[in-house]
Amino acid sequence: MRIFFLIPVLSVMIQVSHVTKFFDSGATAVKDVSFEVKEGETLVLLGTSGGGKTTTLRMINRLIEPDEGSISIDGKDIRQLQPTYLRRKIGYVLQNTGLFPHYTVLENIGVVPQLLKWEKTAIEKRSRSLMEKLRLSPAEYAHVYPHQLSGGQQQRVGLARALAADPPILLMDEPFGALDPLTRINVRQEFRKLDELHNKIVILVTHDVEEAFELGTRIGLMNQGSMQQLGTPKDLLFRPANAFVQQFLQPKQFELELKTLLVEDIINWLPDTTNGSPDLTLEPGNSCWEALAAGINESVVQYNGQQKLVNGNTILEAIARYKKAL
């Protein structure tokens, strides 16, 4: 008789439980913060300056120790874990990249695999492959030094370095903060498309609201050390937990609603039409923002055999009715 064992598929998880951090200055940087993040999620920590985002992030890789509460990875308290284990598990990207100025690009990317004692040829192969994925030609840039790169290129090297040992967790502190607005948008879009990030846990700190809504599967909004709300972008926009959340988002509320809501979210409130042929560039999975850009005149979108009329007026009316129905 054969006995089959069911081997559970273990997914990576971070649990932050009732964590508090005081500093000597008297500031309570983080007050009783708890959350969980699972494999495949991008949690964005958003908020005002001094809100406790960086301190929270740095407690996860033990650069800062909490005074109260605990943090665990895959059910193991991080205080019990060896530094090499944490290094293998967690990649860290900083705003100013933290690249070593006297190391070439290739050497910078290979730092962690080298600490983990990978074979030299494996390190080089992995580093070159990451450079290609991040659109940095190895032929051109492998042997140059960080100061010979633009800010956007340095940021890509910083990201490649954090990804080199393929850690399941990526912590990012204002990773796009030092870039000019246009480069920032481009690097951010490339970041979203990176297949290397699938199935990882990403925790990203920013005070850029748009960035948070673009990248976060969930957003944790912090103020003065406290988590004001942790939820999906839709939760924060349409079910704000308190007046702070509402006021924080208010200046961008309209734009964020258009970018967060997909055409399929409001499909029931869009009018049917029999006129016109479907706009091939517009899909139900496009955001309302994209639909507005596409449908400045009029577009027809097909959904479950129905044809819906999409233009500025129909979108705005449908959003208003969507919000009423919540």
Ligand X SMILES: Nc1ncnc2c1ncn2[C@@H]1O[C@H](COP(=O)(O)OP(=O)(O)OP(=O)(O)O)[C@@H](O)[C@H]1O
- Reduced 3-state DSSP string for 172-238: EECCCCCCCHHHHHHHHHHHHHCHHHCCCEEEEEECCHHHHHHHCCEEEEEECCEEEEEECHHHHHH
SS3 of residue 28 by DSSP: strand
* Nearest distance from C-beta of residue 67 to ligand X, angstroms: 12
Cβ distance to ligand X smaller for residue 52 or 216:
52
* Nearest distance from C-beta of residue 172 to ligand X, angstroms: 12
* Nearest distance from C-beta of residue 223 to ligand X, angstroms: 9
Cβ distance to ligand X smaller for residue 213 or 322:
213
Task: Name the nearest CA neighbour of 242 among 224, 265, 261, 216.
Answer: 224
* Nearest distance from C-beta of residue 251 to ligand X, angstroms: 17
Cβ distance to ligand X smaller for residue 52 or 233:
52
* Nearest distance from C-beta of residue 222 to ligand X, angstroms: 6
* Nearest distance from C-beta of residue 193 to ligand X, angstroms: 26
Cβ distance to ligand X smaller for residue 47 or 146:
47
What is the total residue count of the chain? 326
Pairing of strands 218-223, 226-231: antiparallel
Cβ distance to ligand X smaller for residue 47 or 295:
47
Cβ distance to ligand X smaller for residue 146 or 220:
220
Tokens 């290609």 correspond to: 132
Cα dihedral 310→313→315→316 (10° resolution): 180
Q: Residue 157: enclosing H or E segment and its boundaries?
A: helix 151-163
Cα angle, residue 54 at apex, residues 50 and 59 outer, rounded to 5°: 130
Other C-beta atoms within 10 Å of 13: how many?
A: 17
Q: Measure the CA–CA gap between 82 and 76, rounded to whole angstroms.
A: 11
Residues that bind ligand X (CB under 6 A): 23, 25, 27, 29, 47, 49-55, 207
Cβ pair 281, 294 in contact under 8 A: yes
SS3 of residue 55 by DSSP: helix
Q: Which two tokens stand for residue 240?
A: 């704000």
* Nearest distance from C-beta of residue 296 to ligand X, angstroms: 37
Cβ distance to ligand X smaller for residue 108 or 206:
206
Residue 112, amino acid: V
* Nearest distance from C-beta of residue 243 to ligand X, angstroms: 20
Cβ distance to ligand X smaller for residue 25 or 297:
25
